[in-house]
Amino acid sequence: KEEAVILTPKPSPKPRINSARVFGVRPGSPVLYTIAASGQRPLWFSAENLPEGLTLNRETGQITGKLAKRGEHKITMVATNDLGEARKELRLVVGDTIALTPPMGWNSWNCWACAVDDKKIRDAADAMIKSGLINHGYQYVNIDDCWMVRLNSDDPVVGGPRRDEAGRLLTNKRFPDMKALTDYIHAKGLKAGIYTSPGPFTCAGFAGAYQHEAHDAKQFADWGFDLLKYDWCSYGDVVQGKQDLDTLKKPYILMGGILKKQDRDILLNLCQYGMGDVWKWGAEVGGQSWRTAGDLGFELDRIFEVALKNAEHRDYSRPGSWNDPDYLQIGYIGDASTGGHPKPCPITPSEQYAFMSLWCLMASPLFYSGDMGRLDEFTLNVLCNPEVIDVNQDALGQCAKVLPLGDEQFAMVKDLEDGSRAVGLFNRGELATDVAVKWSDLKLPEPKRVRDLWRHKDLDGAVTQFSAKLPRHAGVLLRLWAK
Ligand code: GLA
């Protein structure tokens, strides 16, 4: 058993802006952009060239307002504390494409399953601030399944009528006031996500949107949600198991179209486990991300397999269009069968670093789905390494290319906006092994600088090649700047 090695150095007390360089919003949609910055507190924010219609809160870094006109704004974000100042340019694009970088946040499913309630969601929002996750760009707080009424249940808490007389979807008693909940989340500079199914019931047997799609989408917008996960589930029964492309696309075309008409931006996450090569048409039907496979679930020994499969769809990864290999499950996690009794994840520290490295190289949505109330130092260090997250949030939106280095070793190379490249080297084998690679074998030009992103260290002597002993199921993540 390996030791828990903390590879990441202590965060610098000097200010650093961690937000992505690009942000998309539709004309007229309410803007809520929170400048993510690390460094010693108190920290103050300012912005140069902020367009008219937007205002910045100097203490929280929240930019709010509305922009009616299409176009691009170059804003300089500034974060200052007693030790200095950090500046970064933000390209704010008012247009049709949203989610210009992979969405980041938390989802309730792999922590609480059906034991989710209003308080747990509020606690997760509080923890996102307190733990500092928000300072690294994590923003969405998403309710997964089980917030609506359970079908055929006489439990007074989750049973009852599914809709009111006007056809409006009802929550179960664990969610007494959705609007108050999203207000609470938004006030913290965070965004709120919700879940339903195009079928009559969800995967866990709660009321779905079938034949009430327009009503429900309007309800989500009125409640103030910013993201919808739309999970196939019982829709399979509606179409009697048919899986031709038209059938697979139909419910997503319907919901995608309805969401675009709402008065706020609502990201659409397609969850249909990759059927019909969803990566080929997910964006066209109005989605910003789509699960490329079934649930990663508790089978965390499948991380490498799932990642390599997901990376096959790299051509479909670009700003506004993301392949989703499922959630980050480290720290304390639960699953549906334990009904919300999270316990420590079963994977080693090396596997956790590899997990995060792979997800960042693939430009995957970064949704943590463990217990926000029990984020220990090690878990936070895996989730919040700013140089690693920069690879995920890079504005090019590229998914790395996989290059095999042997039976059980492989490299991943991702082009970044500034012309540099992120390079991951992985050992998915059961034994520790030496991994050696010449940059020329990866078709990379000779670098002038090579940096270890987990350790925040420039490496001397890696001019033409790199070698390291990698434990089982481990990786290194480097960044190379060409001469
Ligand atoms: C499916 C999804 C999961 C989760 C559950 C909820 O299995 O793939 O991510 O949303 O449904 O029931």
Tens of pLDDT along 2-43? 555 667 788 899 999 999 999 999 999 999 999 999 999 999
Tens of pLDDT along 40-80? 999 999 999 999 999 999 999 999 999 999 999 999 999 99
The residue whose CA has the least distance to atom 11 of ligand 1 is 203
Token pair, residue 255, equals: 């919901």
Closest ligand 1 atom to Cα of 195: 10
* Cα–Cα dist 157/170, whole Å: 12
Active site residue 295: yes
Q: Is 203 in the pocket of ligand 1 (CB under 6 A)?
A: yes
Q: How far is the CA of 232 from the centre of ligand 1 (A)?
A: 9
Please name which of 20, 31, 73, 30 lies closest in space to residue 49, comparing C-alpha atoms.
Answer: 73
pLDDT number for residue 2: 53
pLDDT number for residue 32: 97
Tens of pLDDT along 218-277? 999 999 999 999 999 999 999 999 999 999 999 999 999 999 999 999 999 999 999 999
Pick the catalytic residue from 231, 390, 394, 452.
231
pTM here is 0.98
